[in-house]
Each structure stands twice: as structure tokens, then as C-alpha cells.
Amino acid sequence: MRAPTRDGPTGTVPAVPEARPPDVRTHGVRTHGVRRHGASPRAAGLAAAVAVLAAMCLLSLWAGANHVPFGTVWRVLRHNDGSTAALVVHDLRIPRTLLALVVGAALGVSGAVTQALTRNDLAEPGLLGISMGSSAAVALGIAVFGVTSTAGYVWFAFGGAALTSVAVFLIGTAGRGADTPANLVVAGAAAVALLGAFVNAILILDPTAFDRYRFWDVGSLAAPGAPTLSATWPFIVVGLLLALSQARSLNALALGEQAARGLGVHLNRARALGALAVVLLCGAATAAAGPITFVGLAVPHAARAIAGTDQRWVLPYSAVLAAILLIGSDLIGRLIIAPGELRVGVVTAVVGAPVFIALCRRARLAHA
């Protein structure tokens, strides 16, 4: 076939097709290395991660201080016969495993969204003061209102996270030209310092509150799982759905503020919705299991190493990988000093710190 032509000053020359503007619906995702034909390997990887997560859940139901043969576990899963093994599996291990699943997913996704909002690979919800806001509210609830149950912590942790997030957002975006990630980080650091002093003052003045608070603050899944799960899962589900709905906007924000505006993204609205998702996820997860470090910091790095920078894949990968990490850490804590238990917050710190250092070192070598 002949190439289409157009009239030129010296005759006819091949027509040059007009440059196609970026598709606003994709928010320029293709401009930073995401290709449609790469979806299949990433989908296969995500399916493999889900299979590993299912295996970890079964292992969590089987392993523990009370030895139950795997055949017995499989039998009582299908039929609750009221035996001792059935009570252990249904009343203790299933709620605990589900709690680890949803808390891990919440921490992983909240960390990925925080890093995308701030465009800072070392960011996590704690950087913006959200975790400390939850801790301060829980300490206040214990000392002033006498809250003792994990289900009761939820409302204080969620309220503290919401108030802190709103305050940091308003302070970080106040004034002309102030709506930058650096200002949000600075406002979050100030909130962490202020709220940390507030928590210390409460605990020093009230020794009883200190005794209750320290068991929650270490980070654990040992509390009765069913009441805690029923009180937190609605917030986590809504937060996950909200975060996934903002994946395209987060992709656009990665291109820079001017580019995102050019692609039709309302910056303040996108940041507000992303911050709301982080509040829901981090507040509910912190209330359920206490402050757990390194999950929201290290897991998104692993997700990006596997899936690239497209948040439509980073967020699901972060949810699955973080759940695997938290369930695995809980298993290690339950088995390493059985019949005692090492709190999951301690295990994630020990496991997550070397992983994070290795990821940072790998990134530095890749850019060398």
C-alpha cells in the first residue's frame, strides 16, 4: 500500500501522523515505563503470591503451642464437632489468622499510599504522625475513660488518626505554594514530636494506664481475634477499596504536580482521599494489633521491585505480600519460644529491618 501523502511546497511528501495526546484516563501511566503487555507476568506473580498466602494461612491454622495434627485440622475445618481441636482451630487460630491477614493488608497498602502521596520511598504512616495520633488517642482512652478491650481501642485509634491526618494536611497545605510533599512530611514530624510528648506525660502521671498501654504498644495479635476483627474489618475494607480507587491518581502524582494538573487530577482532592484511605487502614490496624513497624515501610519496596511503579499493581501486591509477612512473623513468634510467645511487633522489626536494608542497598547499587 502507498503511504498517505499531503501537499507540500515541493510536491507530495508522506503524511506525518499527529502526535497523540496522553490518555487522561490512564493519567500518563505509559510515560513512566508501564506497558500493557507486562500485565500478564504481573498477574501470574500476583496469583502465585495469593497461593503462598493461602498456604501460610493453612500453616497458621495448623502450627501453634497446642499441637494439632494436620489431618485433624482439615477435618474440623470442614466440620466443627465441638472437640478440643475444633475449639483451638475455630475459636483461636481462625480469628487470629484472619486478623493477621486484614491487618497485614492494611499496613502494606497504607505504606504504599503514603509513599506515593509524599513521593518519598522512605515514608510510612508513622512519618505523617498517623500512627502516633492513634497511640495518643488510645493512651488517652486508657487513662481517662478506662478502656481495656481491644475493640474499645478501635474508636480512639481511628479518631486520633483522623484528627492527626486532618491537622497535618491542613498545616502542610496552608499558604500559597505550600501544598508540597516536603511540607506534609515536616508537619508530620512536628505532630510526632508533640504527640509523643503527650503520650509520655499521660503514662508518667498514670502508672495504671502505663501497665495497660505497654502490652498494647508492643504490637500483638494475641488478643481475642473475633471481637477485634469484627470491630476493625469494616474500616479496613473501606480503606482498601478507597486506596485502590485512587491508583490512577497516584500514578499521575508520581509525574509531578504540574503534569498531574495537566492530566486533569485535582491535587488536593487526590491527596485528601489518599490520606483518608491511610487513616482508615492505619487507624484500624493500629487499634487491632498495636503499632507494628517496618511492614508499611519495607513491603511496598518489594512490591515495586516485582510489579514496577504502576500503583494499580503495587497496591494489590503490597496487600498480599504484607499479609504474608505478618502471618509468617506471627508464626515465628508463636513457635520460636513455645509454649510462650514473642510479640509479632518484635518479629517484624527483626525480620523487616534487614530486608529493608537489603532493598535500599540493592537500589543504591542499581543506580551506581
Asked, for residue 59, whether it belongs to a domain, the answer is no
Asked, for residue 60, whether it belongs to a domain, the answer is no
Task: Taking each helix axis as running N to C, give the angle between helix 181-205 and helix 150-172, from 0 to 180 degrees, rounded to the nearest 10.
Answer: 140
Q: Tell me, rounded to whole angstroms, the distance of Cα 112 from its chain centroid.
A: 6
Contacts of 211 (CB under 8 A, 6+ apart): none
CA distance readout (Å), 247 to 13, 37, 85, 311, 347:
43, 19, 43, 5, 30
Closest CA to 249 of 28, 39, 32, 37: 28
Asked, for residue 49, whether it belongs to a domain, the answer is no
180 lies in which domain range? 99-116+124-367
Q: Count of domains in the chain?
A: 1
Asked, for residue 21, whether it belongs to a domain, the answer is no
Asked, for residue 8, whether it belongs to a domain, the answer is no
Asked, for residue 29, whether it belongs to a domain, the answer is no
Asked, for residue 309, whether it belongs to a domain, the answer is yes
Can you give the pLDDT of all 368 residues of the chain as single tens digits? 444 444 444 444 444 344 333 344 444 344 344 444 456 889 999 999 999 999 999 999 998 777 888 888 888 888 888 888 888 888 889 988 999 999 999 999 999 999 898 887 777 887 778 888 988 998 999 888 888 776 778 788 888 988 888 888 788 777 655 556 667 778 888 888 999 999 999 989 888 888 788 777 767 777 666 677 887 888 899 999 999 999 999 988 888 778 878 777 888 788 888 888 988 898 888 888 888 878 888 899 889 989 999 999 999 999 999 999 999 999 988 888 877 788 888 888 887 777 767 766 765 555 55
Asked, for residue 93, whether it belongs to a domain, the answer is no
Contacts of 105 (CB under 8 A, 6+ apart): 236, 240, 319, 320, 322, 323
CATH of residue 333's domain is 1.10.3470.10
Quote the CA–CA distance of 270 and 253 in Å, as a whole number.
9
